[in-house]
Amino acid sequence: MSQAPVRRLRRPSGGRDQLLETAVTEFIARGYDATSMEDLSRAAGITKSSFYHHFAGKEALLRAALERAVDGLFGVLSAPAAQEGSPSQRLRAIVAAQVRVLMTELPYVTLLLRVRGNTETERWALERRRAFDASISALVREARDAGEVRADVDPALAARLLSGLVNSIVEWYRPGRPGTASLPDDVVRAAFTGIVPAPPDHQGEPA
């Protein structure tokens, strides 16, 4: 009886980055807890031992993916546009840059938004998200104290609402869709100016 030919697994051309991208895709589709290394190696088209050559295990993959998203967000806070100008100008620049990070790193940000704190890495990611929101809250407070936003605005609530607005984009944004090139500016306009025209006697009030 002739033996069946041995199926040779393909080796991804992108190396470590390609494996990470594959893992993120599987984590989003299956859920992190439900995804096994067997699932990941099958999706990547390599053996598990080849996968372990690049990453120590599933948790290491999750950490690398979440670090990429978190680094992108905190890079927004350290950019010159987030450090210069009035508080409201910096806040607008940060929101626009958040949207750009989401558009550029969509799978990684999506994964970040879906962690629930079930592992040490997930708890680290949640803590970093809270630290980011705290920075936004402090900037909203600074803008309020400077008279650049309404005096009755709760900075913590405003920070959550702004994050919620930006984060909701992962549910419907698709790269390359017509009209999305201006998305960062469109989100800033909606967040700080609104979608309903202000009455004539309120046109000059700060947003």
Number of structural domains found in the chain: 2
Residues 97 and 30 in one domain: no
Residues 64 and 51 in one domain: no
Distance CA 72, CA 132 (A): 11
| Under 8 Å between Cβ of 102 and 169 | yes
Could you give the percent of the chain with pLDDT greater than 70?
88
Give the tens place of pLDDT for each residue, 42-98: 999 998 888 888 999 999 999 999 999 999 999 999 999 999 999 999 999 999 999
Residues 72 and 168 in one domain: yes
Residues 66 and 39 in one domain: no
Q: Do the domain assignments include residue 85?
A: yes
Residues 95 and 186 in one domain: yes
Residues 40 and 128 in one domain: no
Please provide residue 107's backbone torsions phi and psi, each rounded to the nearest 5 degrees: -60, -40
In CATH, what number is assigned to the domain containing residue 17?
1.10.10.60
Give the tens place of pLDDT for each residue, 149-167: 999 999 999 999 999 999 9
Q: Do the domain assignments include residue 201?
A: no
pLDDT at 105 over 80: yes
Question: What pLDDT does residue 202 have?
Answer: 55
Q: Do the domain assignments include residue 199?
A: no
Q: Model-level pTM?
A: 0.85
The closest of 151, 121, 124 to 58, measured between CA atoms, is 121
Q: Do the domain assignments include residue 47?
A: yes
Residue 85: domain span: 59-194
1-10, 45-54, 107-116: which range is least confident on average?
Answer: 1-10
Q: Do the domain assignments include residue 180?
A: yes
pLDDT at 5 over 70: no
Residues 149 and 122 in one domain: yes
What is the three-class DSSP state of 177? Answer: coil
| Under 8 Å between Cβ of 97 and 76 | yes
Q: Do the domain assignments include residue 68?
A: yes
Residues 95 and 155 in one domain: yes
In CATH, what number is assigned to the domain containing residue 66?
1.10.357.10
Distance CA 185, CA 161 (A): 17
Mean pLDDT in residue range 127-139: 96
Residues 41 and 80 in one domain: no
Average pLDDT over the chain reads 89
Please identify which residue in the block is written with the tokens 């998200």: 129
Residues 147 and 171 in one domain: yes
Q: Do the domain assignments include residue 21?
A: yes
CA distances from residue 63 to 6, 56, 60, 78, 119 in whole angstroms, order as listed: 34, 11, 5, 22, 10
pLDDT at 205 over 80: no
What is the three-class DSSP state of 179? Answer: coil
